[in-house]
Amino acid sequence: MGKLISPDLLSPPSTAIFTITGVSIFMSAGLDLGTCFWGIACLEFLDFLSDSLMEEISALVHRHPHKLYMETIGSQNKGYRAEMTVVTYCLNRTEIDDKLKYRVLLSFGQHGRELITSELALKILSILSEEQFLPNMDPIILRGTLERLVIKVVPMENLNGRKLVEEGDLCERRNGRGVDLNRNWSVDWGKKEKDYDPYEENPGAAPFSEPETQMMRKLCLSFEPHIWVNVHSGMEALFMPYDHKNTTPDGSPSQRIRLMLEKLNHLHCKDNCVVGSGGGSVGYLAHGTATDYMYDIARVPMAFTFEIYGDRTASSKDCFKMFNPVDHTTFNLVLNEWSAAFLAMFNMSTHQIDELRSKTSDSDKLVSIEDYMNGYLMEMTSRYGKKKEVLELGMQEIRTYFRLFVLSSVLLMFMFCSRISKSSRPIVSGMPL
């Protein structure tokens, strides 16, 4: 997620050896990481990494058709085309449409240079399909949690940007036409801070101008997740809204979510993860992010951004080392620790939502007209298999129009009452003195 905020002089590259996607590509080739950074000798190996990873995921799905389902979606805008693979997990696939289950949406690889995030997607899917297991994980508790969930995984949101990295541009975070996908969402879109970097943070021509964000928005609106996690690297953090301001949402639900993240930090980050709002913790404000949209517009109850790895000692020009582990031990440690963290988060989050639902059903408190409209619109779309086209414009726009309607109605009513008041006054005829 992190943008490069302090350019350094070029430093000598690491001599560690990098392995990825279950195959020791560079180890077997006798190439070190420095070769990848400073030359083109290893690019022929890098060229097929994303393809290899997606092939492994596809094979995994085919081995477990009773639990996993995979689909590829595509979108095009002004000659630029993008595709995205979505893997759906349900312990019993016949129950995939069960509305009583909690729905989880996970996105990996939104920034091309953060290769480790897509590796975590594969690891989590391998655990969900029971081809891999984690030590110290109670299988009974895990199964009890997974029975309540439907999980959609986007292993590589920004495939075109990933291809640019594999072609040698190791610092590239944007999509295939130079737009930062985590600045292309509608909440506070286009606002530029003093430290705005037009290369790193290009928000696009308009909100949802990019096919990748269009596909993710449609996926969210059709799936209606209870939990959203946008997975990045660049540091170690457990972020909740907001990214565009340095505060977290008000209210006790937000406080309970923060306590949950602090517990997760203690159990799985050894208290090394930053916890709080992205805007208040990462060192800069980010406008037009996916997580702020998921929370503010899509009304996902639990929306997070997880940062799973970062090497703060790396030069800002040594992007591969900054965003990805470069040795076997760290690579496996990151995947194991964060897989465990996600599984624990699933368990904690379902209990949090249970409590929230229980308190909501037991209370008769009044809600604001805006919250009522949001709830009505989301409920209205739930009655149908497909979303209403009007929602494709975005909930934020609908709320804006509704506010204008209410304001104009109040003004008209005031003018009407004023005119009635004037017309009802007694007429006093003028009398000469």
For the chain, the straight-line distance linking the first and the last C-alpha, in angstroms and rounded, comes to 84
Contact assessment for residue 115 and residue 161, using Cβ atoms and an 8 Å cutoff: no
d(CA 135, CA 332): 13
- Catalytic status, residue 307: yes
**Which of 307, 337, 379, 392 is the catalytic position?**
307
Residue found under tokens 């490069």: 4
Q: Which residues contact 174 (CB under 8 A, 6 or more apart)?
A: 111, 112, 161, 180, 181, 200, 202
| Secondary structure class of 160 (helix, strand, coil) | helix
Alpha helix ranges (H) inside 92-135: 115-128
Sheet holding 235-240, edge to edge: 68-77, 80-90, 149-154, 102-107, 227-232, 302-309, 235-240, 274-277
Structure token digits, residue 247: 């505060």
Give the number of other CB atoms < 10 A from CB of residue 94. Answer: 8
Contact assessment for residue 159 and residue 84, using Cβ atoms and an 8 Å cutoff: yes
Q: Which residues contact 389 (CB under 8 A, 6 or more apart)?
A: none
Four-residue CA torsion sign, 4, 163, 87, 142: negative
Q: What does the H/E/C string look like for 189-214?
A: CCCCCCCCCCCCCCCCCCCCCCHHHH
d(CA 395, CA 347): 29
Element containing residue 150 per DSSP (H, E) = strand 149-154
d(CA 110, CA 211): 13
d(CA 355, CA 396): 28
User: Which residues are part of the catalytic machinery?
Assistant: 307
